[in-house]
Homo-oligomer: A and B are copies of this chain.
């Protein structure tokens, strides 16, 4: 996905990242690495002071450290208040995403009324529907299927086999990974005399700018209104987002999360893997939900919420569950003891 670098002096990296340089700025850096695995030419980062001792042994040519660790090594270094973010920046400079060649592959099937920017790259076996538009420098991978009336913004990357149903909209610089399905029908049906009547799903899916959507994630279209993923939302793999949800800007959601329909998740939330969130509720801005938690009702006050019980050795677990299933009778027994105490004392 990323190409190799021929090397950049550390001084230039400091300038491009806007961070402080300490030590030899002429050392040439050609790749990122971890402190443990780095070789000559590599740059590694230290963000957790717990691992400070690794600075002594690393073979990296340079490191990225916080001000508190700046004197913990004599290696050439970048000093920054956010070493991990600077590492991300440096990695993007040293290992830029290889731009695909512009143009439409001859196996592509592009509707006559679709508009594809001349700098966009359309891979093999792609289909693009009527009236859809593909922005400048967008990269559309092999086998992507884009329906009618879709918009794909500038500098978007759609990896192979992404599907956009008709009327889906994707903002600039958004990345969608393989197997993701955007805009499929929401799960809407009316019960009528023991059978189901399909409720047409007439809304759209609107995805903002700078979003990332993981592999095999699904985001359904709205039933009447739209499903909305705001700017800078980060979605991991295998997430399911139901119809008419809204996910607030800068929220990050880890893998295997499910969010039922018509739920609004606030801005700057963090949702751990495999959390399950009910429909028709609201999650306040800035809420943190731990992995594997079940959220059944609205959260109006931000904070850290959790609901996962850690697994135990089976025998302990079975005893605990047994005790749990007898909990109500235990409470009654305590009540009986309390009554007896009261009698005794009166």
- Chain A residues near B (Cβ < 8 Å): 1-2, 32-34, 37, 82, 84-85, 87-89, 91-92, 95, 97, 105, 107, 109, 123-125, 127, 141-143, 145, 147, 159-161, 163, 165-167, 175, 177-179, 181, 184-185, 187-192, 194-202, 210, 212, 214-216, 218, 220-221, 224-225, 232, 234, 236-238, 240, 242, 250, 252, 254-256, 258, 260, 268, 273-276, 278, 289-297, 303-314, 317-321, 323-328, 330-331, 333-334, 337-338, 340-341
Contacts and interface: CB of A to CB of B under 8 A. Distances in A.
Contacts of A295: 310-311
27 contacts: A1-B201, A37-B224, A82-B190, A82-B192, A84-B190, A85-B190, A124-B125, A125-B127, A142-B145, A145-B160, A159-B163, A159-B165, A179-B216, A179-B218, A195-B250, A196-B250, A215-B218, A216-B216, A220-B237, A240-B255, A258-B273, A278-B291, A304-B314, A305-B312, A306-B314, A307-B311, A320-B328
Contacts of A124: 109, 125, 127
A177 B187 contact: no
Contacts of A195: 232, 250
B323 A333 contact: no
A273 B274 contact: no
Given A34-B225, A238-B258, A278-B291, 6 more contacts: A1-B167, A88-B190, A95-B200, A214-B218, A274-B276, A305-B314
A235 to B, nearest CB: 9
Contacts of A127: 123-125, 142-143, 160
Contact of A313 (B37, B254, B304, B317): B304
Nearest to A188: B88
A178 B97 CA distance: 27
Contacts of A87: 190, 199
Contacts of A273: 240, 258, 260, 276, 278
A66 B260 CA distance: 27
A343 B234 CA distance: 60
Given A32-B224, A109-B124, A337-B334, A212 B234 contact: no
